[in-house]
Structure 1
Amino acid sequence: MKLQRILRALVAATSIAFTGAAAAHTVGDTVKPNFSRAIPNIPGKSLIAVEVLYPPGGASHPHTHAKSSFIYAYVVSGSVASKVNDEPERVYKAGESFFEEPGARHPVSRNASKTKPAKLLAVFVVDSDDKELTINDK
């Protein structure tokens, strides 16, 4: 019974987290849940993956992620321009990846092409009780 309550709470928190992941994205961009699971040997941590589908010319608003989140981002198709913190903006092509440290600011995340779509897989290692994965900068 206790395990079932914990799993239901994790599923509910994950649903909220997926909703929060979509908040930084503009109309036309899609954030699709891909995977979510508590990490059994690291109490209080979860692994959450989302697909970010950018239409041609699509972009995210400048944002940060949950303070606990370490993010691995993998470009599945197309090319994605990204800038993390004060690092230079860089274009990543399909098959390339980058990461974001906890607390990092992500001022640029966009499709590098105006004519072809792009897909990014973002994998978060995050505190299981974090409710929002993505927070728009104000």
Structure 2
Amino acid sequence: MADIDPATGGRTPRSDAWKTALTVLQEAEPPFIPEGVHVMTVVVEYPPGDPGTPPHRHSGPAFGFVVEGEMLLEVEGDPERVVHAGEAFWEPGGDVIHYQDGNNRDDVPLRFTVTMMCEPGQPMLTLVADEELAQRTDRRAPRPS
């Protein structure tokens, strides 16, 4: 006879699946978390071949997960890389420029989620002007040829 869980009123025993249900996708130590942070989680969807958001920055750290497709990701100081479906990514936010988040494939859509910690009263995303990009070329990792 199965053990009956009193918390369920004798209906069904509790599952032990929770004990092995967790998989850590990434761990990070962000350089800062803005005081009074506002947290939001969004879903971003780009059609096949879409270049994504122009160079921008976030006021706080951002943590993401690619649900479908492949993202071409480039954050200032790091070489561009492909993040595949099922993989996580993060960026520190603040003054760091996020150069690319586009769809790396021209045959399938890209869908990813991002949880951002935004400074109060600041937009979650600010585009970077071409003049500033030109001034900071020394901070960008070498690009593949």
Above 0.5 in TM-score? Answer: yes
Query: What corresponds to 1:105 in structure 2?
Result: 97
Given residue 127 of structure 1, which amino acid in structure 2 is its aligned partner? E
Report matched runs for 1:127-138 at 5 Å.
127-130=119-122, 132-138=123-129
Given residue 76 of structure 2, which amino acid in structure 1 is its aligned partner? N
Moved over 6 A (4+): none
1:75 deviates by 0.4
With normalisation by structure 2, the TM-score equals 0.60
> Equivalents in 1 of 2:78, 2:113: separation in Å?
21
Q: Does 1:65 align with 2:65?
A: no
Q: Deviations over 1:38-88 (max 9, x none)?
A: xxxx9722210111101001122111112xx11001101111010011211
How many residues in Structure 1 have an aligned counterpart in Structure 2? 94
Q: Does 1:46 align with 2:45?
A: no
Between structure 1 and structure 2, the one with the greater Rg is 2
- Residues 44 and 129, structure 1, Cα contact 8 Å, conserved in 2: no
- 5+ residue gaps, structure 1, are 1-41
How much is the aligned-residue C-alpha RMSD, in angstroms?
Answer: 1.6
Q: Does 1:96 align with 2:105?
A: no
> Equivalents in 2 of 1:47, 1:101: separation in Å?
14
Query: What corresponds to 1:80 in structure 2?
Result: 71
SS of 2:86's equivalent in the other structure is coil
Given residue 54 of structure 1, which amino acid in structure 2 is its aligned partner? Y
